[in-house]
Amino acid sequence: MPRRLWMLLAPAFSLLASCAPPSTAPHAGGGFTLPSAVAPPDRGVDPPPVQLLAPGGPPVPPEARPQRQLSGWAESMADELNIPRAALQAYGYAQHVIAADRPDCGISWSLLAGIGAVESSHGRHGGARLDVTGRPSRPIIGLPLDGSSGVKRIPDTDGGALDGDQAWDRAVGPLQFIPTTWRTWQVDADGDGVADPQDIDDAALAAANYLCSEGGHLQDPERFWSALLTYNESRSYGQEVLDYADYYGKTSRTLPAEG
């Protein structure tokens, strides 16, 4: 699988290949199905895969909900899918929250997992490991957005609070949010009192909120691609996300109902 630079040309993430998906999956599984004829819209040559997330109105933070019922589901598939249990639980929880709060969106955990795979190997970039709270053992931080070749120029907006850089912004966390975008979409998904982009629980739900707000009804192919290409404006990026999502959905067990 060719290595690419993802989300503001952060260092290429080392995807663990022992659970690699097929290279030509036509749709995303796990309850998120696109017609087999759907392909990314033809926009010519891929532009540099830079982060194009933009604020689109604050999400409504959901009331914290128990995640206990997802623990066994995640544990049963973690090894087979090569996804850390904490990450699987975060993706499944985000699907539950969106299904309750925004049932028209139709986002699935497998799509979020596809994004997580491409962005950071589910929080394992650079040898990091997710702990039981869903945080990587070392912060996941991208390259400085200093306007160099293929990189957007975004001077520091957070005083280095999220990315440790007081000169330039950087993408942060397992799902690679830039600080300005995180301020708009931040959410405390696990109810620990902190909205943290390094916490995969918070990041997964924030990403789900963002995609639903950008795309609306994501079961519609055009809206789906419009939303996904605002996350990263690259057709090859979008297709690889779908390849992973399709593989995860086809290989997984049914997400248990919330209760």
By CB atoms closer than 10 A (0-12, 13-18, 19+), residue 160 is: middle
**pLDDT value at residue 95:** 93
Query: CB–CB of 7/142 below 8 Å?
Result: yes
**pLDDT value at residue 68:** 59
Tokens coding 253: 């067990």
CA distance 181 to 230: 12
Note the pTM of the prediction, 2 decimals. 0.76
CA distance 68 to 93: 10
CA-CA-CA-CA dihedral for 106, 109, 111, 117, to nearest 10: 170
Give 220's contacts (C-beta < 8 A, 6+ positions apart): none
Query: What sections of the chain are H helices per DSSP?
Result: 68-81, 85-101, 109-120, 179-185, 200-215, 221-231, 235-251
Query: CB–CB of 46/37 below 8 Å?
Result: no
List the domain boundaries for the chain. 69-133+187-249
- The values of phi and psi at residue 174, to 5°, are -60, -25
Residue-wise pLDDT tens for the chain (259 aa)? 322 323 322 322 222 223 344 333 333 333 333 333 333 333 333 333 333 333 333 343 444 444 556 888 888 889 999 999 999 999 999 999 999 998 999 899 999 999 999 999 999 999 999 998 899 999 999 999 999 987 889 999 999 999 999 999 999 999 999 999 999 999 999 888 999 999 999 999 999 999 998 888 887 888 888 888 888 777 888 889 989 999 998 887 778 776 4
**pLDDT value at residue 128:** 95
Query: CB–CB of 121/12 below 8 Å?
Result: no
Q: Residue 117's closest CA among 249, 215, 259?
A: 249
By CB atoms closer than 10 A (0-12, 13-18, 19+), residue 42 is: exposed
CA distance 186 to 58: 8
Query: CB–CB of 194/188 below 8 Å?
Result: yes
**pLDDT value at residue 41:** 36
Residue 80: count other Cβ atoms within 10 Å of its Cβ: 11
